[in-house]
């Protein structure tokens, strides 16, 4: 037992070194892990079409609140943060984006909903350029264009996507871009759990009032398990996403998050029989090409 820790450390170090050779830093790994957890969460939301989106947010926020409070107490973090206005905006933007996102997931094919939401990384990078002053060189704009063309091809012309849900998906992406940049604005001044805590602090009162006075559906059977897993997976994903945005430039982290579209297409095919053609496959290739080029370029530049 005494020798297990050094051996494990050496193994982890070797893995980190190997990933670094391909331009995948530990910080990028944070985002990749977050994307996977978010993808499972999206799948579970899609499996609950009969539960109102705001009710799912209520369950998610309740679980997130408990985990955050316990975690902050264990780490002896006191108070409600130092930059409360930005923390509040992070919770507000995130809550509005999530409501719109969950609504689109429940009403249009999973791959189409995720594809619309994946305009968020583009919004994040551009907002970071405009608001935070993060520099984008011409080549990065080309890489973003390649990924954007790929995302557009993945979506294609889906007749099942109504105009209202298309607009909701775009709006969700824009609000997510603002939320992610709030995280970047906070940088290392706030504990990751404190940043996450402000999501339930803002959304719980709103979701509770909505469910009590407007719409509530009693979960049955596996619904309870799915709702709990949504809360837990979201907490894990948000923690690692927050760490990634705190320690890495928003443009670079945003481009890595595009990989979640691959999970969406796979889950859509396996669980909901959503078929995609050669043009969608080509779109995935272009999307990933833009991501890889951007990550590789930034790594070599640094």
Q: Mean pLDDT by 10-residue block, N- to C-terminus, for the chain (302 residues)?
A: 44 48 63 90 95 95 91 86 89 94 92 80 78 80 85 72 86 90 79 88 94 92 95 88 70 70 87 81 78 68 59
pLDDT value for 7? 45
pLDDT value for 19? 47
pLDDT value for 243? 77
What tokens appear for 73 in the block?
A: 């107490």
pLDDT value for 157? 62
Segment 202-226, tens digit of pLDDT: 999 999 999 999 989 999 999 999 9
Prediction pTM value: 0.78
pLDDT value for 287? 75
pLDDT value for 1? 41
Please give the backbone phi and psi of residue 215, each rounded to the nearest 5 degrees, phi first.
-145, 125
C-alpha span between 77 and 79 (Å, rounded) = 7
Among 43, 88, 286, which residue's Cα sits nearest to residue 205?
88
Parse the chain into domains and list their residue ranges.
54-301
Segment 268-301, tens digit of pLDDT: 889 998 877 787 778 777 877 877 777 667 656 6
Report the percentage of the chain scoring pLDDT > 70: 82
């Amino acid at each position: 037992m005494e020798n297990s820790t050094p051996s494990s450390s050496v193994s982890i170090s070797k893995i980190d070194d190997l990933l670094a050779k391909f331009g995948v830093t530990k910080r990028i790994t944070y985002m990749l892990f977050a994307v996977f957890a978010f993808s499972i969460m999206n799948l579970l939301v899609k499996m609950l079409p009969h539960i109102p989106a705001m009710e799912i947010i209520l369950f998610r926020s309740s679980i997130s609140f408990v985990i955050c409070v316990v975690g902050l107490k264990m780490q002896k973090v006191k108070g409600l943060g130092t930059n409360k206005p930005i923390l509040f905006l992070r919770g507000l933007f995130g809550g509005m984006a999530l409501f719109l996102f969950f609504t689109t997931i429940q009403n249009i094919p999973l791959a189409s909903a995720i594809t619309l939401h994946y305009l968020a990384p583009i919004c994040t990078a551009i907002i970071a350029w405009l608001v935070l002053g993060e520099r984008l060189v011409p080549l990065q704009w080309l890489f973003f264009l390649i990924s954007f063309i790929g995302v557009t091809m993945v979506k294609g012309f889906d007749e099942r996507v109504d105009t209202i849900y298309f607009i909701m998906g775009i709006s969700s992406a824009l609000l997510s871009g603002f939320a992610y940049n709030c995280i970047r604005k906070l940088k290392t001044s706030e504990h990751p759990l404190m940043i996450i805590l402000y999501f339930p602090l803002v959304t719980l009162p709103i979701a509770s009032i909505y469910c009590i006075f407007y719409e509530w559906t009693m979960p049955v059977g596996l619904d309870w398990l799915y709702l709990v897993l949504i809360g837990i997976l979201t907490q894990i994903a948000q923690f690692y996403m927050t760490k990634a945005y705190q320690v890495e430039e928003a443009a670079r982290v945003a481009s890595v998050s595009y990989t979640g579209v691959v999970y969406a297409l796979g889950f859509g095919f396996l669980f909901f029989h959503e078929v995609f053609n050669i043009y969608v496959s080509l779109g995935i290739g272009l999307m990933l090409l833009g991501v890889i080029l951007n990550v590789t370029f930034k790594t070599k530049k640094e």
